[in-house]
Structure 1
């Protein structure tokens, strides 16, 4: 026969359960905040070019033939395609793995500048690459800190799919 638990033992376990719950809440709140900040940073970085590439109605669209490349940027003449767009002798596009001298790319002109960004499916996917990286990084935080492995796998899969699609189209 098991003797009844003394009242003193039961009263000592209540503070332990309360402190464990407080620590659990603190971990979830801290890791949730970190994951949210990572995802917000990914959207923020992607949103620099995404609205121009995705919402092209009323924007200047055309093509650039890359004639010269420097360390960070490439330049070339701009030929307009949309109405109201003007031809330019020299516009600037960021130098990436996908931009090569002598090739022609469809682009959108950033308002109020001579900078252009790629348009079409390649441009859309490339503009969201920072979000793909943020999804991968946040999935580690969600899996380890929040212990939500299914959600982490979904986030990681989405990030990998986005990065792979951008790599394939560019």
Structure 2
């Protein structure tokens, strides 16, 4: 009985094909790194933008804390008189707050005044959540980059859901739910 020997032959690929496969792999790595850097840039910009307001809403040692009565709203800002309750503040006839964070006209809201300005920032849970809205938007945008450019769909879903929950919580807190 003749024995059959089956040898597996390795297939040799040409240098050109191997170089093309290596270049394609390198392009995939470069794409993933660039998309990761873009996602990090979006998140850093969101944190930076949010922190400019959040530091006043969150920090306990704010210099001027008090209440503001919303008198008038126009051009995305609401104005009204300010009465200090804590800190080194003084009564002011007019401070302004972002209209999205302000309650209805005639209502009072707890605020802190940014040092050296007449701009107020809402404090408490609603003010803190409102301050982090730019970060929530950055999470949503970064989720798209992570899903599309990096192909990390589960991570993108988590980021997007966190951003959506933060936006929803800010909306609910500002509406008084």
TM-score, L = length of structure 1: 0.91
The answer as to 2:126 corresponding to 1:96 is no
Aligned residue for 2:3?
none
1:152 aligned residue (132, 156, 168) = 156
The answer as to 2:9 corresponding to 1:4 is yes
Tell whether the 8 Å contact from 1:62 to 1:81 is kept in structure 2 after alignment. Answer: yes
Structure 1, unpaired ranges of 5+: none
Tell whether the 8 Å contact from 2:81 to 2:93 is kept in structure 1 after alignment. Answer: yes
Tell me how far 1:135 sits from its aligned partner: 0.3
Tell me how far 1:12 sits from its aligned partner: 4.1
Aligned-residue CA RMSD in angstroms?
1.8
4+ aligned runs moved over 4 Å, structure 1? none
Kindly report which structure 2 residues correspond to 1:1-170, keeping only aligned pairs within 5 A, or say none.
Answer: 4-5=9-10, 7=12, 9=13, 11-96=15-100, 98-170=102-174
Q: Figure out how many residues of one structure are paired with residues of the other and give that number.
A: 169
TM-score, L = length of structure 2: 0.88
Q: Which has the larger radius of gyration?
A: 2
Tell whether the 8 Å contact from 1:56 to 1:108 is kept in structure 2 after alignment. Answer: no
| Structure 2 CA distance for aligned equivalents of residues 52 and 58 of structure 1 | 7
